[in-house]
Amino acid sequence: MIPKEQADSLLIIVPAYNEQATLTGVIREVKQVLPDVSVVVIDDGSADATATLARDAGARVLSLPYHLGLGGAVQAGYKLAYELGYQYVIRIDGDGQHDARDIPVLFETLRTSGCQMVIGSRFLDGDAHHTSFMRKTGVRFFRAVLRPILGKSVRDPTSGFVGVNREALQVFSKSFPLEYPEIEALVVLQRRAFRFVETPVRVRPRMGGRSSITAVKSVYYIVHVLLGVLVNILKFERRRWRR
Amino acid sequence: MERLLNAMTVLSIVLILLVLRSVRRAHIRVEYSVSWLGASVTLLVVSRSSGALEWLGGVLGIQDAALALIFIVGCLFLVVLYRFSIVISNLKDANISLTQRLAILEFHLRSLNEKQETRTTV
């Protein structure tokens, strides 16, 4: 549980694209664990009843007129939270993989650690039974890539269960990767000398729907993210040289 | 070679006319027609001056003037495509910002309406 006076500073955002099968359960679970915290579902141009079901379940809905992709949807949520004056935002997925009971832990870490970002990591406690082989391999690869760039290791760089404070919100409101944002976002934060910390979370199998990442898309994902990381490094290095 | 140059001349004239027609009918904005017009006029000039083509071929180390012509065409269209990639990227960024702003404004509007309805019922 989160005390009422602290709950007002936190917004939970749930980016969702055609998640009608699972979204109601996710929102109800969050409301059960955190009845005083606002929940905003970012409906990323869904063709199904995602928005209606989200409202019926007690969430507010930010409806994008067409499909922007995960990064565009998350950034819209960050912009809204920043405008509404929230101090902290925690993002969870709409497919039911994240356990709402972990939100208070993420929030407490975010409040007390002094870090701008908290990542809910499925690998810190070794509880990653529901993670596919492909994903585990990808995570290992990006751990190795990010280690020298970030100057520290990150166990779960692809996690979508993350919390950010207002400083990070300000940065992400202006600049946020459009596709596959998690890894690039870490580089953006690191280049601004912001800090992140990981905290263990439980991850369940998807309650419904299918992952959008297929074998072919995985290759595209790796190339895309590597390029994004490189571009972000060059962008910030160029600014540093100009100073 | 002469045939290729003539075909290129016809192609560049057709391209110029096509672009001008599209601009007149407002299918292409003037600022985006400049790249196409620049490329097609360059093609027209090159295809009508075989001396210039041979000189350029000599500079590039290409013996065959036809190959030099194809090389120039390729380069011109690469530049045009590159320019349009920049334009498309800028448009996409603007589009995303506008979409997000619209959604946020709708969100605020809905919240205001809900507050008003609550007040009215109370």
CATH number of the domain bearing residue A161: 3.90.550.10
What is the pLDDT, as a whole number, of residue A153?
A: 87
Mean pLDDT within A146-159: 88
**Which of A167, A173, A172 has its CA nearest to residue A188?**
A172
In whole angstroms, give the CA distance from residue A178 to residue A41. 18
Q: Is residue B114 part of a domain?
A: no
Whether residue A25 has pLDDT greater than 80: yes
Distance between B106 CA and the closest CA of chain A, angstroms = 8
Q: Is residue B122 part of a domain?
A: no
| Chain B residues touching residue A79 (CB < 8 angstroms) | 100, 104
Q: Is residue B93 part of a domain?
A: no
Count the domains in chain A.
Answer: 1
Q: What is the pTM of this model?
A: 0.84
Q: Is residue A1 part of a domain?
A: no
**Chain A to chain B Cβ contacts (< 8 Å):** 33
Query: Residue A176: helix, strand or coil by DSSP?
Result: coil
What is the pLDDT, as a whole number, of residue A90?
A: 97
A interface mutation test: which of B93, B95, B97, B107 has the most A CBs within 10 A?
Answer: B107
Mean pLDDT within A206-221: 70
Q: Is residue A2 part of a domain?
A: no
Q: Which two tokens stand for residue B51?
A: 């001396």
Q: What is the pLDDT of chain A when averaged over all its residues?
A: 88
Q: Is residue B17 part of a domain?
A: yes
- Pairwise pLDDT comparison (B51 vs A56), residue with the higher score: A56
Q: Is residue A236 part of a domain?
A: yes
For residue A230, the enclosing domain spans 8-242
Of the pLDDT bands very low, low, confident and very high (cuts 50, 70, 90), residue A203 is confident
Q: Is residue A3 part of a domain?
A: no
What is the pLDDT, as a whole number, of residue A70?
A: 93
Whether residue A154 has pLDDT greater than 70: yes
Count the domains in chain B.
Answer: 1
Whether residue A190 has pLDDT greater than 90: no
Q: Is residue B118 part of a domain?
A: no
Q: Is residue B26 part of a domain?
A: yes
Out of A68, A72, A83, whose CB is closest to B104? A83
Q: Is residue A56 part of a domain?
A: yes
Q: Is A60 exposed, middle or buried (0-12, 13-18, 19+ CB in 10 A)?
A: middle
For residue B25, the enclosing domain spans 2-86
